[in-house]
Amino acid sequence: MIFVYILLGFIGLLWSANHLVTGAANCAKYFHISPLIIGLTIVALGTSAPEIFVGISAAMQGKTNLAIGNAIGSNIANIGLVLGFTALLMPLKLQSSSLKREYPLLLLIMLFTYALMMDGYFSVTDGSLFLIGLIALLIYLTQLAKKTSKKDALLKEFQVEIPQQFTIKYSLLSLVIGFIVLPLSAKLLVHGAVGLATWLGVSEFIIGLTIVAIGTSLPEVATSLVGAFKGEFDIAVGNILGSNMFNLLAVLAFPGIIHPDNINKALLRRDIPVMFALTLILFCLSYFFKTKGSLNRVHGGLLLLIYCCYIFSIIFIH
C-alpha cells in the first residue's frame, strides 16, 4: 500500500498541476496579460505547485524536514537530472536576455535561503521572510516582463506555447479541479513517503531529497523536454531557473509558518552546497566557455554525473 499511495500521489499531482497551470494561464490570457508575464510567473509557479502542496501537507503532519528536503532536492534534481538529461538528448542554445537576469537572481535567493537556515532552526520568522521574498519576486518578474524587448526569444517561445484560448468557464473549472486534487494528492504522497522511510529505516528528510524530489520534478522534466524537442531552448532552461526560485521562496515559506522545527544538519554541509555548485556550474557552462550561449551533450553528461554522485553519497554515505 505504501507504493500505491506514492504512485497515486504522483499521478494526482501531475494531473492536477497541469489543470492548474492550464486554467491559470488561460484566465490570465483572457484578461490580456502578456505571454511573458504568464510564462515567468504563472507557468513557473505552476510547475512548482507539486512541491508547494507537498510542503504544506508535510508541514501540517509535522514533517518539516520532509518539506525542506523536497524543496532543496527538487532544485538539485532540476539542474542535475532534468537539464542534464535534456542537454544530453538535445543540445540547448540560449538566446534570451531575460535568462541572464534570472541567473544572478537565483543565486541571490539561494544566498538568502542559506543565511536564514544557518542557525539550524526553521522559524515562523523565516517562513514569513520567504513569503515576503516571494511577493517581491513576483513583482520583479512582472516588471522584467514588461521591460523585455518584443523581439526577445523567450517572449516569442511563450507566445507559441501558452495554451490556446479556452472559454473562461473551462479555465475556471480547470483551476478549481487543480486546487481540489493537488492537496489531496500531496497528502497521499506524504503519507506514502513517511511509510516508505519507516519501512527502509531512513529519515523522511532522505526520502524528501530523493524519491519525492524526483517525483515532484516531473512537471519540469516534461516542460523542458518538450521545449527542447520543439527548439524552444530558452523555455527549457527558463522553466528550470524560474521553478528553482519558486521552490525556495514559495515552497519553504509554508513549513516555517505551519510547523517550525530544527533543520537536519546535513542540509547545510552537503545539500545546499551541492545546489550552489550545480547552479554555478550551469551559469559558467552557459556563458563563460567557448560554447557560450549553449549547453551541449558534454555539459549535460557532466551535470547528470554530478547528480548521480550526489544521490550515491546520500544513499551510501548518509
| pLDDT-based confidence at residue 148 (cuts at 50, 70, 90) | low
42-80 tens-digit pLDDT: 777 777 888 888 889 889 988 899 999 999 999 999 999
- DSSP annotation of 167: P
Higher pLDDT, 180 or 145: 180
191-220 tens-digit pLDDT: 888 888 888 888 888 888 888 888 888 777
- DSSP annotation of 189: H
Nine-digit cell string for 83: 537539464
| pLDDT-based confidence at residue 35 (cuts at 50, 70, 90) | low
Kindly list the structural domains of the chain, giving each domain's residue range(s) and its CATH number in brackets, ordered by start.
2-317 (1.20.1420.30)
**Region of 216 on the Ramachandran plot (φ > 0 left; ψ -120 to 50 alpha; else beta):** alpha
Nearest CA to 103 among 123, 117, 83, 120?
83
